[in-house]
């Protein structure tokens, strides 16, 4: 399953491959979550409902997706609609236009950029991918990371620094087209 393009993953989901669906949720879960909690700033309970609703709708509608490679922007649009529906139900007095603006284009562009960095991170492989994920995304301490990865505590900071430099080299060497098409290979 590792190393599949978005198109390949969607094709497998379409024929009822449960493992592919689980991989799709794993691949895009952070992105959907970020739109919900950072883009639209939904409260925890609402965010959970919307997160589940997005994937429930995606599961049903995936067969009608026209361009398998465009699954990420399609999910982004679906997530935005689910968030706006939720906000509309809660804030009936506010104009729809204001709700649509709740998550600005700049914020969504930033999340797209973050997703591209994440793809580059996955392509780095271990140990850097896990190390940087633990430190930056999961906010784990040096101590926790050292224990989890069975590494000397005193080496974590330098390893994070080296891996970040490696990520920079890798990310800057990527083709911009691969990010735009969604056809990058992740994990």
Partner 1 sequence: MTGYDEERLAELLRALPPPPAAWVQAAQELPRARREVGGIVARAEADAAYRAAVLADLEGALADAGLEPNPPAVEELRRRLSP
Residue numbers of the site for partner 1 (CB under 8 A)? 16, 18, 21-22, 25-26, 29-34, 38, 48-49, 51-53, 55-56, 59, 110-111, 113-115, 117-118, 121, 132-133, 136-139, 161, 164-165, 167-168, 171-174, 176, 179
The smaller minimum CB distance to partner 1, of residues 33 and 142, is found at: 33
The smaller minimum CB distance to partner 1, of residues 19 and 98, is found at: 19
Question: For the chain, how long is the longest CA-to-CA vector?
Answer: 57
Tokens at residue 48, please? Answer: 């959970």
Minimum CB distance to partner 1, residue 95 (Å): 26
Which residues, 6 or more positions from 35, have their beta carbon under 8 angstroms from its beta carbon? 76, 79, 80, 83, 103, 108, 111
The smaller minimum CB distance to partner 1, of residues 105 and 172, is found at: 172
DSSP code, position 70:
G
The smaller minimum CB distance to partner 1, of residues 96 and 137, is found at: 137
Q: Write the Ramachandran bin of 10: left for phi over 0, alpha for psi from -120 to 50, otherwise beta.
A: alpha
């Amino acid at each position: 399953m590792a190393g599949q393009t978005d198109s390949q993953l969607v094709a497998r989901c379409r024929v009822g491959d449960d493992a592919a669906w689980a991989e799709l949720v794993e691949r895009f879960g952070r992105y959907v979550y970020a739109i919900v909690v950072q883009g639209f700033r939904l409260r925890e309970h609402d965010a959970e409902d919307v997160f589940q609703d997005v994937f429930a709708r995606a599961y049903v509608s995936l067969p009608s997706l026209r361009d398998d490679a465009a699954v990420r922007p399609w999910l982004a649009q679906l997530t935005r609609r689910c968030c706006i529906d939720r906000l509309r139900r809660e804030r009936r007095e506010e104009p729809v236009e204001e709700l649509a603006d709740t998550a600005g284009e700049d914020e969504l562009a930033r999340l797209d950029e973050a997703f591209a960095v994440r793809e580059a991170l996955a392509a780095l492989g271990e140990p850097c991918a896990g190390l940087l994920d633990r430190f930056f995304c999961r906010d784990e301490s040096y101590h926790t990371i050292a224990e989890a990865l069975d590494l000397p505590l005193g080496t974590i900071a330098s390893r994070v620094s080296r891996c970040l430099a490696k990520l920079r080299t890798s990310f800057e060497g990527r083709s911009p087209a691969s990010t735009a098409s969604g056809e990058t290979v992740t994990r």
